[in-house]
Amino acid sequence: MELRDGINKMEVFSDNDYNDIPAGEPLESIILVFSGQSIDETVRFADGLIFEDQWDFLLTERPALGSRHQFTVRLSFDSGRILERQSRSIVWN
């Protein structure tokens, strides 16, 4: 779908502590989106782009072995609308 309502903020959170980042705090310092863009770069270039239902996120740090994480992605739009989706639980072995 085309994003006519511009994205002004993108946040990604984990429900558990992710190394030094407490649960519920944004993971922006360790996440890349698409082809190696930071979250801030993605938000700046998102206006007018067409997105599919699935986005690729790359975590630049591996969490502790055996840790479980459910990630939440929250998009905030210029209109004030918020779209939020959660991943399934992921366990690192």
Q: Is it the case that residue 6 has pLDDT exceeding 80?
A: no
Which has more confidence, 45 or 60?
A: 60
Please report the pLDDT score of residue 78 as a whole number.
Answer: 82
Q: Is it the case that residue 39 has pLDDT exceeding 60?
A: yes
Enter the tokens of residue 53.
């239902």
Counting every residue, how long is the chain?
93
Which has more confidence, 43 or 88?
A: 88
The mean per-residue pLDDT over the stretch 49-53 comes to: 51
Range with lowest mean pLDDT among 14-23, 43-52, 54-63, 75-84: 43-52
Residue 25: pLDDT band with limits 50, 70, 90: very high
Please report the pLDDT score of residue 36 as a whole number.
Answer: 65
Run of H or E including 9: strand 7-14
* 71 within 8 A of 85, measured Cβ to Cβ: no
Q: Is it the case that residue 54 has pLDDT exceeding 80?
A: no
